[in-house]
Structure 1
């Protein structure tokens, strides 16, 4: 066991060098457990609605690891509930942990004699991120010194989370600005040149009497028009156009660029923050791209509903494909859609059958 000062110094040095959230959490938790008498630890991120996510764990007992950490990820518990209520503000002993109790009932020999744990909020200033929990076999209560150490480590981790979040936000802003610049440059230069080329070819084809020359000019006109369409789609990929007029309007506009016939139904008032709206549009964009490239149909139905939770369903009756599970999506683009959905706390369901079309459904709880 390391001295408190030495351990805090080691963790601080590690945190100062980390730039990725999850590797930072894993490394800090590993150093905390290995440098103390704690046998295991885990970290929850908790959102504003009280939903928790297991984002890091180290040396969990076998019972708690069963079924993809089912007992750690499903259902409520005392510490998460108290945290969400704003009543868990410092390192505390947990009288009874419902997660450990449930796991021990199912796997009585798999908890490594762990029955209770200590918990501490992760925060930086007024911003709260979640909970750090630790446990030791055959121990029901943790000393003031141990709780004080947890407070210090939690403060370090909370500060690191805030720093990384701010860095990622700045990176996103810089990336958005660069995308907007590229979109403007493409529109003002390359797109205009292609448009001029198409007009010139059209005029030349109209004014020549040579059949071969006319065919060549018509080919140039058709190719340049295709290039203009591709360029417009690329500009849309870089910068969502029309979102300022609403999500449904922007999706409809993009479908028009792809020459898709969209029937759209909107129920309820769409209320999404800027990030959610952009991500939802990107998912719709990817789904429409896939229909254009692979479905063999131009008919699309889109249903957007926010009477309770937000949901968006995109249907086509095209060629379809075989998919056994959401983790075995057939293209990189479909996998990107799922990743985007998860980035805003959403879930993406894709159902498809050969020659029976595809249905993409995005749901955001509390959206």
Structure 2
């Protein structure tokens, strides 16, 4: 076991070098557990609705890892509820943890003698992120020194989360500005040149009587038109076009660019802020790209609902694919969609099987 000062110094040095949230949480938790008498730890992120997500864990007992950490992810518990109510504001002993109790009932030999845990909020100023939890075998209460250590580590982690979030936001703004600049440049230069080339080839083909020349000009015209279409799709990738006229319009317009036939259903009044609208459009864009590339169908059904919560469903009856599990998506693009969804507190569900098509559903609860 390291001294408190040495451990806090080690964790602080590690956090100062980290730029990615998940690896930062995993590394800080690992150092905390290995540098103390705690045997395990886990971190929940908790949203404004009180829903929690197991974001990091280290050396969880076997019982708590059963069925993709079912006991840690399913249902409410005292510490998450108290946190959501604003009544859990400092490091505290949890007298009885319902998650550990349930796991112990089903797997009495699999909890590594863990019965109680300590918990502390992760926050930076007035901004709250979730809970840091730690436990040790045969321990029903944690000392003031241990709780003070947790407070210090939680303060370090909370500050690191805030720093990374701010850095990511600045990077996102810079990236958006650069994408907009590239989109303008491509539209004003390359796209216009390709369009002019297509018109010139068309006129030349109409005015020549030489069959070979006519055929060559027609090939140039067709190739130029294909390049124009590709350029338009690329510009759409860089900068969402048509969002100022509404999300449904922009999605439908992008589907037209891809030559997909969309049946659109809209229920309720769509009310999203600018960031949410852009993220939802990017998710739809990726889903439509996947249909164009892989589904083997041009028919798409899209449903947008916002009667209470917001939801977007994109369905095709194409080739489909085998989804191994919710955490094992077959392409980088699908993983990006899930990351985009989580970036605004939403959830993405993908259901598919071979030869039966794919359904992509995004949901976002009211803030």
What's the secondary structure of 1:200's corresponding residue?
helix
Shift of 1:294: 3.9
Hey, what's the Cα distance between the residues in 2 that align with 1:77 and 1:340?
28
Aligned residues: 365
| Gap regions ≥5 residues in structure 2 | none
1:194-233 correspondence to structure 2 within 5 Å = 194-233=194-233
Aligned to 1:140: 140
Shift of 1:94: 1.1
Contact persistence 1:304–1:313 (CA under 8 A)? yes
The verdict on how the C-alpha distance between 1:22 and 1:359 changes in structure 2, with shifts beyond 3 A counting, is closer
Shift of 1:149: 1.2
Q: Which segment is superposed worse, 43-52 or 252-261?
A: 252-261
Contact persistence 1:91–1:147 (CA under 8 A)? yes
- 2:316 is the alignment partner of 1:321: no
What's the secondary structure of 2:285's corresponding residue?
helix
TM-score by length of 2: 0.93
What's the secondary structure of 2:200's corresponding residue?
helix
Aligned to 2:349: 348
Hey, what's the Cα distance between the residues in 1 that align with 2:147 and 2:273?
38
1:94-133 correspondence to structure 2 within 5 Å = 94-133=94-133
What's the secondary structure of 1:270's corresponding residue?
coil
1:154-165 correspondence to structure 2 within 5 Å = 154-165=154-165
The verdict on how the C-alpha distance between 1:114 and 1:243 changes in structure 2, with shifts beyond 3 A counting, is same
Hey, what's the Cα distance between the residues in 1 that align with 2:226 and 2:365?
40
Aligned to 1:86: 86
Hey, what's the Cα distance between the residues in 2 that align with 1:201 and 1:7?
71
- 2:74 is the alignment partner of 1:77: no
Hey, what's the Cα distance between the residues in 1 that align with 2:273 and 2:313?
19
Hey, what's the Cα distance between the residues in 2 that align with 1:134 and 1:19?
24
Aligned to 2:333: 333
Aligned to 1:40: 40
Hey, what's the Cα distance between the residues in 1 that align with 2:297 and 2:247?
23
The verdict on how the C-alpha distance between 1:326 and 1:67 changes in structure 2, with shifts beyond 3 A counting, is closer
Q: What whole-Å deviation, never above 9, does each CA across 1:183-224 have from its counterpart, x for those lacking one?
A: 111101100100111111112122222222122112111111
Hey, what's the Cα distance between the residues in 2 that align with 1:114 and 1:352?
40
RMSD: 2.0
1:299-318 correspondence to structure 2 within 5 Å = 299-317=299-317
* 4+ long deviations beyond 6 Å: none
